[in-house]
Every structure is written in C-alpha cells, then in structure tokens.
A and B are shown apart, each in its own frame.
Chain A
Amino acid sequence: MTMRRWLFLSPAVMFTVVAGYFFWGLNPERDPRAVPSALIDKPVPAFELPPLDGIDRPGLATADLTGGQVTLVNFFASWCIPCRAEHPLLMDLAEAGTLPVIGINYRDKPAAARRWLDQLGNPYGRIGADQGGRTAIDWGVSGVPETFVIDGSGRIRYQHIGPMSRWDLENKILPLVEELSR
C-alpha cells in the first residue's frame, strides 16, 4: 500500500524536480553564456610577447609574472567596445597603485592601439602585443576583455570574462587581491 502511495506521488515529485531546475535556470544572476575557467590555480602559461610598437612600455613574458607580486593582467583591444567601458576602472587602479596592471593587446594594429591609449590613458605598466592571438589561446581567452589575477608565485587565481564593472572590481577582484597579498 505504501508503495502504491509513492507511485501516486511520483508525478508531483517529478514536477517539483523539473520546476526547481527551471527556477534555477531563470535566476537573473546566472549567465548562461559563462564559460567555466579551466586555468584557475594553474601556473601562467609559457609565453613571450614583444612590446607594443611606439609605446614606452616593456613587453611581457612568463617570468615577469612570477616575481612574488600579485598582478592584474588585462586582455584588451582598441576595436573592443566593452574594453572602452572598463578602461576607467583600470585607470583608477593604476592611479591608486593597488597592484601592477599589465596589458596584453589582442589582435590589434599597433597604430590603433597607440591611438586608443593616447586618447584614454595608459594604465598598463607593461604591454605585450599579441597580434597573432596565440598567447590568448594559451591563456584560455575567448574574447576581449578578459582580466586575470595572478598571485605572487605566478598562478592564475581568477579569470574575469567580459568587462569588469565597478561592482566586480570591489566585490570580487580587490578582496581576492587583498587576500593574496597578505
């Protein structure tokens, strides 16, 4: 008899499970396009990038990120509109001197990148020019902008896909930077 009762209840149970799944799926905070990061806690990939032509900043290689300091690495391009949106945040960070901000210029024309930096300001202490986009693949970058937090030992601790908002910076990135710097 109890078995029977369970059978009668099973449609209601199934409905609850399915409805719960849909409810979870409808959460506005959830980004269905978000790609889970594969490189978290992995060492920075081996790479070496030349400096950006005509900008007075050194290029970038793996060794520059293992110096014992927490750093922010930002992939950007002059043709990328969301990069423009997050640029003021990077300027603020660089101005405050919270941590070194490093740029990787992704699939860009040097002249266009120069113009962009002249116009909006240059927050980057180093800029690697990734014209072929190969370094971006090694970093698991699927588009610009993306921002990484690298700890002192050169491990990737956080990957932010898409433009950072001030909220992301204050609630996700800066607390992590503080924790890693301790």
Chain B
Amino acid sequence: MTGGARMRARLRAAAVALVLLAPAGGALAVQPDEVLGDPVLEQRARALSKVIRCLVCQNESIDTSNADLARDLRILVRERLTAGDSDDQVLDYLVARYGEFVLLRPRMTPANYLLWFGPAVVLVLGGAGIALFLRRRQAASAPGDLNAEERARLARLLDEGPGSE
C-alpha cells in the first residue's frame, strides 16, 4: 500500500466514524419519508408527536422513539392532520384507543386537577404554615410595652444622666 492510499483509507475510516457518531448527537427518529410536504402541517405534526407517548418505550415520545409502533403513530398523526383534523381531534383519536396514558402532558380535566395543582397547593399550605410559625415566634420573643412603673424608672435614669448613680 502506498502512502497516498493509506492516507485515503484513513480518511475514509474517519468519515465512516463521523457518520456513525452523528446520530448520537441529535437523535432523530423521524424518517425523511414520513415528513409532510406542507411545512405548517409538519410543524404541527412534530409538536403533537412530542406530547404523544410511545407505548412500547413508555417514557419516550413518538417523536424520538425508533419503535415500529412510534413510526406507525407518527404516520397516523400526519394522515389525520392532512385529512383536516385539529390537534385536539388527533389527540382524542389516540386517547379513545390507548387511554390518557398516551398523552405525555396530562389534560386539564377535573380528574387531573390534583396532578396539576397538587404541588401548588402543597406549596401554599407549607408556606402558610411557615409564615404562621414565624409570626408566632416573633410575637413570643418581642418585648411588650413598658408598664407605668418601668416607664417612670426609665425616665428617672435618663434624667439623672451618666455617672451620677
């Protein structure tokens, strides 16, 4: 092997390595053949895909999952959008089949109020508890007003000035 050929082989190996490493950076599960021609619809599809759970991998959205089912669901989302469905209609379609579990962002329904507002409620209750505690402690340690006798003594001491007692 000549020096030039070796160099070329080395460059080719580097290129292969780069290609292999590239997906590790910004993993993209969406295949080129899935992408819609209409950029507005595609944008909506991508946004929806990010809040739909892949039921195979469970903690991944269908936007990032490489599972076959995720791919099927991505294509389905695009088909429904192309057919004129609103974003909510697409989500309803999936919820009717897979339940609310398919949504990565729980809906704002009464059943989910505890989920949405629970942390805020705990924060408010805890904050109120701490405020109450601090106020009580302050009230207990703050000196009360002087009574008449103490006031008279204080006045006397101030009148007499330093060094006279």
| With contact pairs A107-B68, A134-B72, A142-B69 given, residues A33 and B58 touching in the complex (Cβ less than 8 Å) | yes
Complex CA gap A164/B95 in Å reads: 25
**A-side contacts of B69, CB under 8 Å:** 133, 136-137, 142-143
Complex: A122 Cα to B101 Cα, angstroms: 34
B45 contacts the other chain (CB 8 A): no
- A46 interface residue, CB < 8 Å from B? no
Stretch among A36-44, A55-63, A89-97, A171-179 lining the B interface: A36-44
- Which residues of B have CB within 8 Å of A142? 55-56, 69, 98
**Bound complex: CA of A107 vs CA of B71, how far in Å?**
12
List the B side residues contacting A139 at CB < 8 Å: 97
Q: Knowing A33-B58, A35-B55, A143-B56 touch, does A138 contact B97 (C-beta < 8 A)?
A: yes
Q: Which of B56, B58, B72, B98 is in CB contact (< 8 Å) with A140? A: B98
B95 contact from A38, A107, A133, Cβ within 8 A: A38
Question: Contacts A107-B68, A132-B72 hold; do A137 and B97 have CB atoms under 8 A apart?
Answer: yes
Hey, what's the 0/1 contact readout for B48-67 against A, CB within 8 Å counting as 1? 00000001101000000000
A138 to chain B: which residues have CB within 8 Å?
97
Of A33, A37, A134, A136, the contact of B99 (CB 8 Å cutoff): A37
Tally the A-B contacts, defined by beta carbons under 8 Å. 41
- Minimum distance in angstroms from A31 CB to a CB of chain B: 12
Q: Which of B95, B97, B98 counts the most A-chain CB atoms under 10 A from its CB?
A: B97
Closest to A35 in B: B101
Known: A137-B76, A137-B97. 13 other contacts (CB 8 A): A35-B55, A35-B99, A36-B101, A38-B98, A45-B97, A132-B72, A133-B72, A136-B69, A137-B72, A138-B97, A139-B97, A140-B98, A143-B69
A-B contact pairs, 30 of them (CB 8 A): A33-B58, A35-B55, A35-B101, A36-B99, A36-B101, A38-B95, A38-B96, A38-B97, A38-B98, A38-B99, A45-B97, A107-B68, A132-B72, A133-B68, A133-B69, A133-B72, A134-B76, A136-B69, A136-B72, A137-B72, A137-B73, A137-B76, A137-B97, A138-B97, A140-B97, A140-B98, A142-B55, A142-B98, A143-B56, A143-B69
